[in-house]
Chains A and B, each alone.
Chain A
Amino acid sequence: MKKDDFKVHPAVLDLKSDMEKGKVTRREFIRYSSLLGLSAAAAASMAGFPWSGAAWSASVKRGGKLKIAAPVHKVTHPAQFSWIAPSNQLRQIAEYLTYTDGDNVTHPYLLENWTASDDLKTWTLNLRKGVKFNNGDSFTADDVVFTMNQWLDESVGSSMLGMIGDYIDQTGIEKVSDHQVKLHLKRAEIGIPEHLFHYPALVLNHRTFEGDFIKAPHGTGPYLLESYREGEQCVIKRRKDYWKTGADGKNLPYLDETVFIDMGTEMAPMIAAIQSGDIDIIDFSDISATEAYQALKDDKNVNVSPSTTNQTRVLRMRVDLKPWTDNRVRTALKLCQHREKILALAYFGQGVQGQDVHVSPKHPEYCPIDTPKYNPEKAKQLLKEAGYPNGVNVDLAVGSGWKEIVRYAEILKEDAAPAGFKINIKTMPNSQYWEKWTEVALGITTWAHRPIGTMVLNLGYTADEDGKPAAWNETRWVDKEFSELLSRANGTLDIDKRRKIFCKLEKIQQDRGSIGNAFWINVWTITRKRVQGVKAHPSLYLKLDDAWVNA
């Protein structure tokens, strides 16, 4: 941080005083100030933490080969990723501008550093110098501008567009010099560095990329793409001139080779294979891992490291369809969730209970709120008041591939019966559920990990300017007071003030919202004991540049 043009963002100082007053935890301070461009080490020292970076002892071993069970999907344009698994393969070849670690702290990666203007509307990204693509091209601002334009190109159809499209457009990306890019936003946004690590945000080579990464696999990452056979396997080999240096002073990566093998979706063979050592890691980023967790948690050859996440399974009711138009009916169904039981049986107790609010205790803005108790009598009463004295028949759509969701549904069916709900569970393959997830009246949807609470609420519970529910508003629930508070929260940087708004938001969603949510899940990074340096991540991103194996 010795650069003259680098100054500490004023909000960092406010944060610091909030932390000292005890309004903000140290962890939150580090996380927020790192978003504002303070390096994690500097933030930690301001917070009074001893900073212990990822310092590997010199005992690392070089060489060897890693085998990972992972689906090998069809991939063309990284910005078009809709699954995490392909990003876990290609992120070894291409890289991101930033890196958000398992503690939600964001670090510079292909960026040297960044600064934000006081109003958070102008962001200056300083690029790392001396980084080369694996085809020899230098990494410059042109590549960043090109990549960002790809995200914003509607014909590409990247999910990045939905994430950043409302605060920036292609005219807002300015190349200042070969190693500096400025972003001019339409509104204040603090999440930029985290967004740059969203899984479709791989940086592409503007000279060679023509829409199909597999045909021109030119990235700045630690590995070279050896072969890519969809549905079969993906082989990557060590690159010799990678920009990062390992603990032994030589270029990373430590591994010679990594193979991703597509073993289908059946869990038993993957479990058996990791037990026998035929594979080293199972990539669970897109599949449910409870079965493997159960089978492997006590295995002495396997490390199962949990991460708490903001991932949840949402019992969503469409408020524009009967009987869910009536808040009493919605509340009645929510009261039928025996949360302790659901968490214990559906997810083996591996998570925390939810409170019918789409803000997780792990979100920085989270305001503690009571967990509703299982109360079928009250639910019955509410149903009666709503005009269903003899109970009501409802269909519940679930994807049969998510075993924990099927169990959630079965438990709910049983426990809601005394209140008068007759639930018919409609199972379908997951792919069919995704076809109609926004259409069904009652269903259970998986929601991925998002580091900040406003991100989810903006996506799922708002309307556009015309009052039409947003694309991902699967329940069509739009509440005037809620929307106003939310837009206020979006523009509030002060964590403490933000949290006060969230207390109200959460109360509204719990009282008259459209979702039940019984639990927030843990995920597991499952590796053989010999694998070192693969860190647990709540989105199960695999970072293999400094992974190594004990022979």
Chain B
Amino acid sequence: MEQARNTETDPAKETPVDENILGFGPGLKHAAGILFSSKTAVAGLFLVLFWVLTALLAPYITQYTPTEQDWKSPNQGPSMEHPLGTDELGRDLWSRLAYGARIVLVVLPVTENFWIPGGTALWGVFASLLIGAGLGLFSGYYGGWIDEIIMRLLDAMMSIPVILLYLIIVAAIGASAVNVVFAIAIVGTPGVARLVRSLTLDIRTRDYVRAAETRGESPIYIMFVEILPNAKGPIIIDAMLRVGYAIFAMGTLGFLGLGLPPPSPDWGSMVAKGREFIMSGSPWAALWPSLAIASLVVGLNLLADGLREELTRYQ
């Protein structure tokens, strides 16, 4: 799904490349200025920050652990003890939501006992950026038959319906956080590669790239030191949107029974499990994580939109 939705906001189409946008160091203040001049971006930032903070502070703002079972009160609506209610095993939904944000945004549970920083969705997007950017750079910089082969393969990948790709990938390699990352990465790669390729095609005609070439720099150096840093603005905006769709994808995978193993409180699995109880009149367990996914993805979209709008205006 994400590959499609991204075309709409393909930053390469609308935004001329500006080397300072969202740059770090000297550009940081500048970027902040752009950010705060857009109401849309601020609204988006607020939503995103809310979830980032919730994720970071989860242990301090919740009364229960995400797996604590109050077996006398399963499937409850909101109450004083449980502000958002409880799920089918009597677990506090607010705690699960907050810790779920952690899995999406802050930590990746490689195994039950081994966690690495960076959320599942973030790692998924990061991996697709890594592979996609590599392929895009090579393809765009070298052109010719390398370009042709890479792009045709990616075209083929893009024309497999995403849902089918998920199914085949995860049905083949099983359900775990790392495999979810893998699935998100594979599905995201062609989109990133296309974007980076188009940016590369543009940037490689610039003077400073010509200069580096006449200096005799190696192609690797030119690709990763001259071209990539100058393309990072649109890539970062694109990545924000991708994070949103990665979260959405985790939900779909959970629905297909291929998400993170229980009792993981990630939002996708929460919706997928909670939906069993909607028909018996306990919609809460599915409602809250659905809204959480929606608000975070909307936040990321608004942030990206706002930034882009401001950038175009700025030029």
Which A residues lie at the B interface, using CB under 8 A?
267-268, 271-272, 291, 294-295, 338, 341, 344-345, 393, 400-401, 403, 406-407, 409-411, 413-414, 422, 424-429
Q: Mark B95-109, 1 if CB is under 8 A from A, else 0.
A: 000000000000000
With A272-B279, A294-B280: A410-B262 Cβ-Cβ less than 8 Å:
yes
Between A and B, 26 residue pairs with Cβ closer than 8 Å are A267-B276, A267-B279, A291-B276, A291-B279, A291-B280, A294-B280, A344-B71, A345-B90, A400-B175, A400-B257, A407-B89, A410-B89, A410-B262, A410-B263, A411-B89, A413-B67, A414-B263, A422-B112, A422-B113, A424-B112, A425-B262, A425-B263, A427-B175, A427-B257, A427-B261, A427-B262
Nearest 5 interchain pairs by C-beta: A294-B280, A295-B279, A295-B280, A400-B257, A341-B71
Chain B facing A: main interface SS: loop
Whether B279 lies near A414 (C-beta < 8 A) is no
Cα–Cα distance between A443 and B233 once the two chains are bound (Å): 49
Query: Quick check: B263 and A345 within 8 Å, CB to CB?
Result: no
- Is B278's beta carbon under 8 Å from chain A? yes
Select which of B71, B175, B257, B275 is within 8 A of A268 by beta carbon: B275
Instruction: Tell me the bound Cα distance from A406 to B279 in angstroms.
Output: 19
- Interface positions of B (Cβ within 8 A of A): 67-69, 71, 74, 88-90, 111-113, 171, 174-175, 257-258, 261-263, 275-281
Cross-chain contact B262 with A345 (CB below 8 angstroms): no
Q: Which residues of A contact B262 (CB under 8 A)?
A: 406, 409-410, 425, 427
What separation, in Å, do the CA atoms of A406 and B74 have in the docked complex? 16
Residues of B within 8 A of A425 (CB): 261-263
B14: min CB distance to chain A, Å: 40
Minimum CB–CB distance for B211 against chain A, Å: 55
Alpha-carbon separation in the docked complex, A295 to B113 (Å): 37
Q: A411-B89, A413-B263, A425-B262 are in contact. Are A345 and B277 (CB under 8 A)?
A: no
Determine the distance from Cα of A294 to Cα of B283 in the docked complex, in whole angstroms.
13
Q: Which residues from chain B contact A400 at a C-beta distance below 8 Å?
A: 175, 257
Instruction: List the A side residues contacting B280 at CB < 8 Å.
Output: 291, 294-295
Q: Are B279 and A424 in contact (CB under 8 A)?
A: no
- Measured in the bound complex, the distance between the Cα atoms of B50 and A62 in whole Å is 65
Q: Evaluate whether A426 and B261 lie within 8 angstroms (CB atoms) in the complex, with A291-B276, A410-B89 already known.
A: yes
Q: Are B278 and A428 in contact (CB under 8 A)?
A: no
The answer to whether A268 touches B89, judged by C-beta atoms less than 8 angstroms apart, is no
Starting from the known contacts A345-B89, A400-B175, A426-B261, 10 additional A-B residue pairs (CB-CB under 8 Å) come to A268-B275, A291-B276, A291-B277, A291-B279, A291-B280, A294-B277, A295-B279, A345-B88, A410-B89, A427-B257
Assess A268 versus B113: contact at CB under 8 Å? Given A345-B74, A345-B90, A428-B174: no
Bound complex: CA A448 to CA B298 (Å)? 47
Which residues on B sit within 8 Å (CB–CB) of A428?
Answer: 174-175
A429 to B175, alpha carbons, bound, how many Å? Answer: 9
Interface centre among B69, B258, B275 (most CB of A within 10 A): B69
CB-CB under 8 A from A268, the residues of chain B are: 275, 278-279
Contact A424 B263 (CB under 8 A): no
A206 vs chain B, min Cβ distance (A): 42
Q: In the complex, what distance in Å separates the CA atom of A409 from the CA atom of B112? A: 15
Quote the shortest CB–CB distance from B110 to chain A (angstroms). Answer: 12
Contacts of A410 in B (CB 8 A): 67, 89, 262-263
